[in-house]
Amino acid sequence: MGGIVLLENPSSSLLRSLCEALAAKVAPFLSNSGLVFRANLPSPPISDLDLDPFLSDLRQCLGLNPADFAVLLSVPPGQPFRLFLLEAHLSVSRDPDIAFVNTPVSGVPLIIDESMPPCPSLFPAPPAPAPDVDLVHCESSWGSALSDPTTADRLLETEVAEGWVFVVPGGAGYLKQNCTRSTIGKPGLVKAPDRDPCVVVDSSGSGVTAHTHLPNKSANPTITCLRRCLPARPALLILDVSKAHRRILIRPSDRGLLCFY
């Protein structure tokens, strides 16, 4: 997914010129395209052809030739984001979080029973309490899935067919033999009015939640902060993106901690 970042008082004339160029194109683009999406879409709502004018401004801003810019636009395997392009943005804007941008390329750690460098842009988190449960291999599902196994199995078969879930050959025995650490969580079935049923996995049942500690906490921006970031002639673009499936490359040594029964 891509978006437009509104920078408050950009210190660089390079960033200011890019913001002005993008802002000049956004309003006409939205007005001409009439973008309103209320349904699930199998492909991105904005085509590569629609993005060309914006990418052209970005290439000129960075001062790159087409071949080098094509490298920045490439997507590292295992995840859907243009991480090299993001790194270029962070470098130009001198973002303090630039050290984290390459983590999704090699694999994101789950930081279970280990420390992670804090993000300098967020508030530090309070000390974590000691885990009160062990990492475990659960041997059944939650009652919500057991009460309607037909629906649960159908949904899981769809997840497997689409590549979101894969079966571990050898099951729990394979995990114990080949993984330093592993857990098996308990899936549940969520049903709600006006929504399709979905399968969820509660990581607290396998002990993962208790053994995970994030070094930062975040706070929502205030109305004053948002107003400071708005351009003189604001254009509204809202993308409501489903978070049911998140394509994040996980560090190989941690993948045994994401299993469920």
pLDDT by residue (tens digit) across 172-224? 888 888 888 899 999 999 998 888 899 988 888 899 989 988 888 877 778 78
Positive or negative: CA dihedral 11, 16, 18, 24: positive
Separation of alpha carbons 160 and 259, rounded Å: 13
pLDDT for 35-67, tens place per residue?
544 445 556 666 778 788 888 888 888 888 999
pLDDT band at 8 (very low <50, low <70, confident <90, very high): very low
Percent of the chain with pLDDT over 90: 18
pLDDT band at 5 (very low <50, low <70, confident <90, very high): very low
Place of tokens 């956004």: 26
- How would you class 67 by CB atoms within 10 Å of its CB: exposed for 0-12, middle for 13-18, buried for 19 or more? exposed
99: nearest Cα among 74, 119, 82: 119
Structure tokens at 214: 């994030």
> So what's the pLDDT on residue 231?
63
> So what's the pLDDT on residue 248?
84
pLDDT for 157-168, tens place per residue?
998 998 888 899
Please give the model's pTM, rounded to 2 decimal places: 0.67
Give, in degrees to the nearest 5, the angle at Cα 135 between 133 and 138: 100
> So what's the pLDDT on residue 188?
93
pLDDT, greater one: 88 or 35: 88
> Would you say residue 26 has pLDDT above 80?
no
